[in-house]
Chain A
């Protein structure tokens, strides 16, 4: 057993001693080493790293449920945790919806662990930043390079035990060309389990190229436009669908758009939550994670569940419990759109091919600050960012200024609305907030409703 396994086992043993044999107990122990090198105005201005250890204990005793966690992982800290949770459980109102503990089951695999990423130094992150800045070739550069190594262990009083580990490396960078009063930004992002996959120079070259092609953007009146969305923008669609559309808690509350069994999306569209590429291989309740079809050939096939929401829905947990899922709901955090995967090497080729088919529309690199107006129809508002171009007669005609949109995401992906799916999907990091990544190809959509200019 390693350190984290031992932590989980010890916490379970102490909680059993505190609560007695009748209590249902589960423990999640995690150790994380995370580092993030951040740059702006072409120099490193923030450079951080931290170590953390945390044990979370949840108990159901005498019809009541309580949970707590601590960073004090010595015996004294773990004993205090058990005492605290036991006291809380005695005082709370009854939990009528307790779903019971996860039964023993094996995980289908471990998350990817790359030793070089786990041991990455500040100098190695700085090297990639330097390569990005150099490739930006005089443009102002900003972004981050981050690495994470997480080890986890789960144990419960039903005899279930799992352990896993994973690494993540991520790069997110923009280059800014300035002409007149309106800066022109280009972006490139990439995430992998291996820091060796991160090519700062290639990312910087792409961001700088896009920034330069955005200079002197023109005003375009708002309205309905056909769009080609690059992977950065598509990642937002996936994040929003995971958060609101396929959220099992919102589903049992009748607040989601998803209706399993119905053809709600374009038949070319299949969406999968695939945790095999990243993250912990089991959820906070000890349910192993597996690839889950959410949409198959346009038909909604599932929503994401924890044990609690699954019990309410009369379904099985899909392995999406988290520490916050009783509040926010179980959320798919690794959604991907099935791409053709026919050996295409870059999303740039996908985008070029899609643009050729558009008579008049917009090429959108990124969308930003998207917020839900109503979760049920899933109407969102947000803005374009980091590059938007007018397409005319199959060619990029020139950059345009950022626009605000107000758009139902499922409607944009509905039957007959998806005109193309890129062959190459790229894993996108999520702004340094961790634990999520979305593998997105480019998409060509029949229409997108832009409701205003971003600058008035």
Chain B
């Protein structure tokens, strides 16, 4: 059964109520998550919902309305309300709104899913989480947590410009952490990354992670961290593991190249961007090793899709080439304002939320080095892995990250473990200091990117690899 009829009714109603453009997404979703702690399942929550969200453009003002009802009658009501809201927006008007042209798309797309995550028995999933947390707890973790999350959604998009698209996307992922509690502080180790690893894949992704093989190791590392020496304070050579590079890319590149931020549309909450559109194509963002690509076509990566939520087909695009800033994440209206000719990065957190500019998969192309070469060629520095805290200013310029674990690097070898590693810097200065980049790229997935008002949670992918940076301030502490 499809819900094209409901989406079509909503669009027609919005047009009849005065909209000059409208689109509607009818949607059915299911998701499921389970958590366990120290050998016991602590939560299982399954969600099921369905509804329709309608976007209407009246004059140059937008309105959006969503209802949890897929009957044509409700859809028509939602379309009318969207147009009514758009008309109210016109009382505080802005510049003329145009949409960059996109050929009307009629098609369908499904993510690859070898093993339906919702068909895997809960008993098997529960056994996996309880066994790994029990193992980690016995191996020294005071608090061992594990989680999996799976999502399945089907969307029917219709627009007044002729789009008619059906998309089915399945996503899966899992992760675990071990926390050791000391007298005055806590130490945590996570696997395979902070919060886990996620992708537009089936349960096969979770099997490939092999959580059981890593439960004991992270527990032992968390306990060892309690008595490890503190990260030294000062400027040094910094090597970041791939899972921390994922966060570095997300926060200091991905958000900075969002066109809505650059245009000031997020000024009150998420913030703006240090990037100036007049310098697109000429600004040096990083060293020549820095090649960042926006690519929603990567099979299995968490930010992949066939079409974005405006119906623009997925397309690979450079964001930074040889260190020069050359591209942005854009939507059809923001691109028109900026004088660009492409959208393709507009996504919504379900049917009840308005589509907005979001990251898809934003990540690094492989570098020329191996991870071993990077460490082997470093005389004196610090190696850090796995994010523990992240903070960045509202222009996406000044960041401070904490990692779960670090090691001294001396004379080309990884040495003593160090605790509470932190580093801080300014985006372009930091990226310009990148002098080595590994070819060992992994497409990390992060399922918790917050943006927008009302708040939306986005799922983004970040191909990332270990890299080395020079003259970085480390060891910031209270």
Query: Which A residues contact B (CB, under 8 angstroms)?
Result: 34-54, 65-72, 80-81, 84-85, 88, 91-93, 95-97, 121-123, 125-127, 129-130, 133, 140, 142-144, 146, 172-174, 176, 185, 187, 253-255, 308, 323, 326-327, 368-377, 379, 381-383, 385, 402, 404, 406-408, 411, 431-434, 449, 451-456
- A45-B94, A371-B390, A456-B426 known; A404 vs B398 contact (CB < 8 Å): yes
- A70-B48, A173-B268, A451-B476 known; A255 vs B92 contact (CB < 8 Å): no
Contact of B265 among A45, A93, A368 (CB under 8 A): A45
- A39-B92, A172-B268, A406-B400 known; A433 vs B454 contact (CB < 8 Å): yes
Q: Please, which residue of chain B has its CB at the minimum distance from the CB of A133?
A: B92
Contact of A369 among B64, B66, B356, B392 (CB under 8 A): B392
- A47-B86, A122-B89, A371-B389 known; A36 vs B453 contact (CB < 8 Å): yes
- A254-B181, A407-B478 known; A68 vs B50 contact (CB < 8 Å): no
Q: Please, which residue of chain A has its CB at the minimum distance from the CB of B35?
A: A327
- A50-B67, A71-B51, A455-B397 known; A176 vs B453 contact (CB < 8 Å): no
**Would you give 7 A-B contacts (Cβ < 8 Å), ordered by A?**
A50-B65, A69-B45, A70-B49, A91-B123, A432-B452, A433-B455, A456-B425
Interface readout for B262-302 with A: 1 if CB under 8 Å, 0 if not?
01111111000000000000000000000000000000000
Interface residue? B85 (CB, 8 A): yes
Interface residue? B126 (CB, 8 A): yes
Q: Which residues of B contact A88 (CB under 8 A)?
A: 44, 46, 122
**Besides A92-B123, A133-B92, A373-B422, 14 other A-B contacts (C-beta < 8 A):** A36-B454, A37-B88, A41-B265, A44-B90, A48-B354, A51-B68, A71-B49, A93-B126, A255-B186, A383-B393, A383-B398, A432-B269, A432-B455, A451-B476
- A50-B65, A174-B267 known; A43 vs B391 contact (CB < 8 Å): no
Separation in Å of the B234 CB from the closest CB of chain A?
13
Q: Tell me the total A-B contact number using a CB cutoff of 8 A.
A: 283
Q: Which residues of B contact A146 (CB under 8 A)?
A: 453-454
Which residue, B61, B90, B393, B394, has most C-beta atoms of chain A within 10 A? B393
A interface majority secondary structure: strand
Interface residue? B352 (CB, 8 A): yes
B400–A69 contact, CB under 8 A?
no
B88–A123 contact, CB under 8 A?
yes
- A93-B130, A254-B181, A432-B453 known; A122 vs B88 contact (CB < 8 Å): yes
Contact of B92 among A50, A129, A172, A174 (CB under 8 A): A129
CA distance A36 to B85 in the complex (A): 10
CA distance A44 to B229 in the complex (A): 53
B398–A454 contact, CB under 8 A?
yes
A449–B64 contact, CB under 8 A?
no
Q: Please, which residue of chain A has its CB at the minimum distance from the CB of B126?
A: A93
> Nearest 6 CB-CB pairs, A to B?
A43-B94, A432-B453, A122-B88, A326-B43, A71-B49, A456-B426
B41–A95 contact, CB under 8 A?
yes
CA distance A65 to B43 in the complex (A): 8
CA distance A39 to B181 in the complex (A): 45
- A326-B35, A406-B476 known; A48 vs B85 contact (CB < 8 Å): yes
- A92-B126, A122-B88, A406-B478 known; A372 vs B267 contact (CB < 8 Å): no
Q: Which B residues, 66 to 97, have Cβ-Cβ distances below 8 Å to chain A?
A: 66-68, 81, 84-86, 88-95
A122–B63 contact, CB under 8 A?
yes
Q: Which residues of B contact A84 (CB under 8 A)?
A: 46, 48
Interface residue? B433 (CB, 8 A): no
Q: Which residues of B contact A96 (CB under 8 A)?
A: 40
Interface residue? B103 (CB, 8 A): no
- A36-B453, A130-B92, A455-B426 known; A46 vs B64 contact (CB < 8 Å): yes
Q: Which B residues, 355 to 374, have Cβ-Cβ distances below 8 Å to chain A?
A: 356
Interface residue? B179 (CB, 8 A): yes
Contact of B420 among A38, A122, A129, A374 (CB under 8 A): A374
Q: Which residues of B contact A327 (CB under 8 A)?
A: 33, 35, 42-43, 147
Contact of B267 among A34, A35, A140, A449 (CB under 8 A): A140
Interface residue? B17 (CB, 8 A): no
Separation in Å of the A140 CB from the closest CB of chain B?
7
Interface residue? B143 (CB, 8 A): yes
CA distance A323 to B95 in the complex (A): 42
B41–A449 contact, CB under 8 A?
no
Interface residue? B214 (CB, 8 A): no
A38–B92 contact, CB under 8 A?
no
Q: Which residues of B contact A71 (CB under 8 A)?
A: 48-51, 68
Contact of B91 among A126, A143, A369, A404 (CB under 8 A): A126
Interface residue? B424 (CB, 8 A): yes
B269–A431 contact, CB under 8 A?
yes
Q: Which residues of B contact A323 (CB under 8 A)?
A: 45
Q: Please, which residue of chain B has its CB at the minimum distance from the CB of A125?
A: B88
Separation in Å of the B472 CB from the closest CB of chain A?
12
A142–B397 contact, CB under 8 A?
no
Contact of B185 among A40, A374, A451 (CB under 8 A): A374
CA distance A41 to B267 in the complex (A): 8
A46–B354 contact, CB under 8 A?
yes
B454–A255 contact, CB under 8 A?
no
CA distance A91 to B426 in the complex (A): 50
Which residue, A40, A85, A173, has most C-beta atoms of chain B within 10 A? A40
Interface residue? B258 (CB, 8 A): no
Q: Which residues of B contact A255 (CB under 8 A)?
A: 143, 179, 181, 186
Interface residue? B62 (CB, 8 A): yes
Interface residue? B402 (CB, 8 A): yes
A382–B391 contact, CB under 8 A?
yes
Q: Please, which residue of chain B has its CB at the minimum distance from the CB of A185?
A: B267
CA distance A295 to B467 in the complex (A): 46
Interface residue? B114 (CB, 8 A): no
Q: Which residues of B contact A326 (CB under 8 A)?
A: 35, 42-43
Separation in Å of the A407 CB from the closest CB of chain B?
6
CA distance A125 to B319 in the complex (A): 38
B44–A126 contact, CB under 8 A?
no
B46–A379 contact, CB under 8 A?
no
A41–B94 contact, CB under 8 A?
yes
CA distance A254 to B184 in the complex (A): 10
Q: Which B residues, 16 to 47, have Cβ-Cβ distances below 8 Å to chain A?
A: 33, 35, 40-47
